Amino acid sequence: MTASIHTTCPYCGVGCGVKIDGQGAVTGDQLHPANRGALCVKGMALGESQTLPNRLLYPRVDGRQLDWPEAIATVATGFAEIIKRHGPQAVAFYGSGQMLTEDYYVANKLMKGFIGSANIDTNSRLCMSSAVAAHQRAFGEDAVPAGYEDLAEAELVVMVGANSAWTHPVLFRRLEQARAANPAQRWIVIDPRGTATSQQADLHLQIKPGSDLLLFNGLARRILDSASMDRAFIEQHVTGFAELSLTLGGSEYRTDKVAEATGLTIAELNRFYQAFLDTPKTLTLFCMGINQSEQGTDNAGAIINCHLLTGRIGKPGAAPFSLTGQPNAMGGREVGGLANQLAAHMDFAPGNRDKVARFWGSDRLAPGPGLKAMEMIDALERGDIKALWVMGSNPAVSLPDSARARRALEKCELLVVSDISPNTDTARLARVLLPAAGWGEKDGTVTNSARTISRQRPFKPAPGAARPDWWAICQVAQAMGFEQAFGFDSPAAIFREHAALSGFENGGERLFDISALSGLSDEQYQQMTPRSWPLAGRETGPARLFGDGHFATPDGKARLHPASPRERSEPAGARLLLNTGRLRDQWHTMSRTGHVARLMAATSEPQAQINPSTLSRGGLDQALLLQLHNERGHTLLRVVADESIPPGQVFVPMHWSGEFSSGGRVNDLVSARGCPTSGQPAFKQNPVQVVAVRHQWQASWIGLEAPRWLPEWWSRRPLASGECWSLIDSQTSLAEARTALTREGSWLDWPLPQGRLLVGLEAGKIQGLLLFGQSPWQINPEALASLLGSTLQPSLLLGQLSQALAGTGRLVCSCWSVTEKRIRQAIEEGVEQLEELQQQLKCGTRCGSCIPELKQLLEASQSQSLGEKL
Ligand SMILES: Nc1nc2c(c(=O)[nH]1)N[C@H]1C(S)=C(S)[C@@H](COP(=O)(O)OP(=O)(O)OC[C@H]3O[C@@H](n4cnc5c(=O)[nH]c(N)nc54)[C@H](O)[C@@H]3O)O[C@H]1N2
Ligand SMILES: Nc1nc2c(c(=O)[nH]1)N[C@H]1C(S)=C(S)[C@@H](COP(=O)(O)OP(=O)(O)OC[C@H]3O[C@@H](n4cnc5c(=O)[nH]c(N)nc54)[C@H](O)[C@@H]3O)O[C@H]1N2
Ligand code: SF4
Ligand SMILES: [Mo]
């Protein structure tokens, strides 16, 4: 038997260690400091997501399969010719926080060091750039002060714009354990909508979208007037106090005014403010609700101000803690992969340029910052950028104003895309497609939210001609004439150089210093265990930073930064405010999770979640489909009435792309405007109009292949075998649709109480089942899919049909396929405790990601019965 392989989960920034045994089974790594054995549902499903249908196996140029040398030559000569004709600013690279550090390092070195253009930016612009800018402004360097150890130490945990129960599930479980061990720990969640996270909170502040800056400035003002202000700390370690106090003196930060502007009651504010003032061990976790805003940097800065004013930084359980989204968002920040960074936490200051040029041995270093993500789209539109290499991202879907982004990408003379799938909306636009080695096949390192560097190790060969991203970059670089600088033969060799650069003429200036690892042998790199930076000669770094009150600024002091809310550039008016974000079981544009039946079961269609009162007021409550539109675009979504969304708002998951539905590409509606300091788009607050679509018919198609004809709206999901397609149309009649869908093959037709069932046969075998109906139904498609490919047996068919029509309800526990219906049944039958529920139904006993929802169902029924008693 082969020994287990220790690697790291390729999804979120918690950065859980994963163990692969000799049979390929995936479990949590007990030895990893991030998760100590736990995994969430996405991590648990890593085995299933490995079998990607339609994997990109060979390079393609203009749709033709080529071998690597030809593809490399096409990219290298294409880039070189454009540079010759138009200069280095005419080419660009768009990367990802999902690239490994080694991939990222060589991409950055090629663009900034040798092509001589800083037009390299990444999806971290959409994700972390506001936090990065706030860290740099306050601490002098992009360094997250806290570590996961602080979760257990904290007595007050403030979660702002973070739905961690779904997005950082293992971190959330660590918090649950911390609260169980220390009942004094309190949680305050700040989020305009109700979430699986807010449901577990001691206090949920449902603020008006975009009012966080006011809220935290209001808190800062209260700190100034209180005993919790740490005068000694401020005097010794902080600058900017006078300017901040002046700003906070404005009457808009009086608690009554803040209440008005945030939509909270004075009592709610007092509870939050008092809890913060009273609790030295306060940890403030923040994520996309803070960063993805028109004032993202100031939002994060306002949180940091409150921690600096109280001296709550660098101490156990006390810090502002920006959670990173992607598995290697932090590694990308370390190599300097953003357009406004140079390398290894150095910016473009002349001294840094000189250092890096000497280190890399280059005389053509980029002169200054390059174009940020959205500026790249502008430049593509203008025709200023003519060649773009996209790696590990699906910008045609995930960028804001995505219809415009797609048009700009289409215009690009040479679009190169490195991906594992040829089917993403971006890959479809590429001239050159390069097949990347995926997770489980590639080798390198990633850094998580807590600055812990872990190894990703391969445990199987890459299929076809797929190759690691670092290799493709080095091949192109060599073909462009940079043989010496890109002669790396392994990720270990790249890592050594990256580590060496972090320490090069550092002299204690930069906290990011892992040069102690620059001498690792290949063998030591293979064996490397997780460790946090800064290392500075030590084996593994400290969990938290700034404990000595010394910051990475020239005077060693942290900087308070005053900022006031700007007038909103787009008034909401009578329209709804669109909020977007994540679902528990999906990852981004679904290229890696959308084909896993288990992960698509909980929410299988792109949807608009709206408060029932807003629906009835707008006359929208009878519609199946809503059209959301604004000046940028439109999209069709299944409507879902949801009490947790405040009236006047609509929440749409960010995940759906043209690969999985005709609707749901929500970024077609999202403005490219964002924070002027960081360049991060405001994905969370966009006004939209909503109209009901009067459908003529709706159907579900369950088949081995796609339906023969597609109506106005469709959405597909994988099943254990075959697929289920939801079809809705407002333009054709039922008769026309029937004809179009059943043009070929022979069809049997059954009337149903609520519609019709048509069974498509080929050579006596069932190829597909089509259920037509007027009103929506919740069918269990798996019951019918089990018939696909078998010969028709009427009694079996009817049995499965009645099972299918009995419906299943929403899936809550994806690991054990336990539905809300079964859970509610058990509760009705007397189950009161989570443990009983777990024992009876097994739900929540594997990865535990659904425990917050189980608790919520139990609590809802308890408060209902309490209400009945009263
Ligand atoms: N399941 C899953 N997990 C993921 C990912 C995934 O795709 N799927 N992606 C990973 C990545 S890259 C990232 S960046 C993280 C993101 O992790 P999170 O930031 O936790 O996720 P989101 O759902 O984008 O947004 C968080 C919350 O911000 C709230 N919000 C909206 N507007 C405001 C506002 O004005 N103020 C406040 N305070 N809150 C607001 C939203 O209602 C939402 O609940 O998740 C990571 N983890
Ligand atoms: N509306 C809205 N939009 C958002 C957000 C939001 O909250 N709301 N959040 C934003 C944020 S925070 C983020 S991080 C982005 C994420 O959005 P994207 O960057 O588009 O994320 P993914 O869909 O994960 O894209 C990763 C791509 O890399 C491919 N891939 C997988 N493994 C490999 C590999 O090893 N090598 C290569 N070369 N490719 C690989 C995948 O198939 C996929 O196509 O979305 C942003 N967009
Ligand atoms: S919390 Fe889940 S998605 Fe995030 S790293 Fe851990 S297992 Fe992966
Ligand atoms: Mo992200």
pLDDT in tens, 222-255: 999 999 999 999 999 999 999 999 999 999 999 9
**Closest Cα to atom 30, ligand 1: which residue?**
289
Atom number of ligand 3 nearest to Cα 15: 5
For ligand 1, whether the C-beta of 336 sits within 6 Å is no
Per-residue pLDDT at 1: 46
Atom number of ligand 3 nearest to Cα 39: 7
pLDDT in tens, 117-136: 999 999 999 999 999 999 99
Per-residue pLDDT at 870: 46
CB 671 within 8 A of CB 630: no
State the Cα–Cα distance between residues 128 and 323, nearest whole angstrom.
9
Closest alpha carbon to 416 in 816, 835, 56: 56
Per-residue pLDDT at 83: 98
Angle between helices 266-278 and 212-224 (to 10 degrees): 60
Of 8, 167, 170, 176, the one to substitute when testing ligand 3's pocket (max ligand atoms within 8 A of C-beta) is: 170
Per-residue pLDDT at 570: 56
Q: Which amino acid is at 408?
A: A
Tokens of 102: 């080694």
Per-residue pLDDT at 869: 46
CB 397 within 8 A of CB 421: no
Q: Which amino acid is at 539?
A: E
DSSP assignment string, 713-738: EEEEEE-SSSEEEEEEESSS-HHHHH
Beta-carbon neighbours within 5 Å of ion ligand 4? 127, 325
pTM of the model: 0.95
State the Cα–Cα distance between residues 221 and 211, nearest whole angstrom.
16
Q: For the purposes of burial, counting CB atoms within 10 Å of the CB of 705, is it exposed (0-12), middle (13-18) or buried (19 or more)?
A: exposed
- Residue 62: phi and psi, rounded to 5, are 50, 40
Per-residue pLDDT at 741: 95
Residue 796 CA, distance from chain mean position? 43
Ligand 1 centroid – CA 655 distance (Å): 12
Residue 126 CA, distance from chain mean position? 10
pLDDT, averaged per 10 consecutive residues of the chain (870 residues), comes to 87 97 92 96 87 92 97 98 98 98 98 98 98 98 96 98 97 96 97 97 97 98 97 98 97 97 98 98 98 98 98 97 97 97 97 98 98 98 98 98 98 98 97 97 97 97 97 98 98 98 94 95 97 80 88 97 83 78 96 90 94 94 93 96 96 97 97 96 96 93 95 96 95 94 91 89 93 78 92 89 78 85 91 92 90 88 60
Name the architecture of domain 575-693. Answer: Beta Barrel (2.40)
For ligand 2, whether the C-beta of 591 sits within 6 Å is yes
Per-residue pLDDT at 856: 87
Count of beta carbons in the 10 Å neighbourhood of residue 79: 26
Exposure pattern of 537-561 as b/e (b: 16+ CB <10 Å)?
A: eeeebbbbbbeebbbbbeeebbbbb
DSSP assignment string, 335-386: HT-STT--BTTB-S-HHHHHHHHHHHT-S----S----HHHHHHHHHHT---
Please identify which residue in the block is written with the tokens 């163990």: 19
- Topology (CATH level 3) of domain 811-869: Arc Repressor Mutant, subunit A (1.10.10)
Identify the CATH number of the domain defined by range 76-124+350-527.
Answer: 3.40.50.740
Report how far apart, in Å, the C-alpha atoms of 269 and of each of 249, 305, 312, 709, 791 are.
18, 18, 20, 55, 65
419: left (phi over 0), alpha (psi -120 to 50) or beta: beta
The yes or no reply on domain 129-322 and CATH 3.40.228.10 is yes
Of 8, 35, 592, 815, the one to substitute when testing ligand 3's pocket (max ligand atoms within 8 A of C-beta) is: 35
Q: What are the DSSP E strand ranges found in 491-600?
A: 531-532, 558-559, 576-581
Per-residue pLDDT at 368: 98
| 490 Cβ neighbours under 8 A, 6+ residues apart | 443, 522
Domain spans, the chain: 5-49, 76-124+350-527, 129-322, 575-693, 697-806, 811-869
State the Cα–Cα distance between residues 560 and 847, nearest whole angstrom.
41
H/E element, 395: helix 395-398
Name the architecture of domain 5-49. Answer: Single Sheet (2.20)
Report how far apart, in Å, the C-alpha atoms of 9 and of each of 398, 515, 664, 850 are.
21, 25, 27, 19
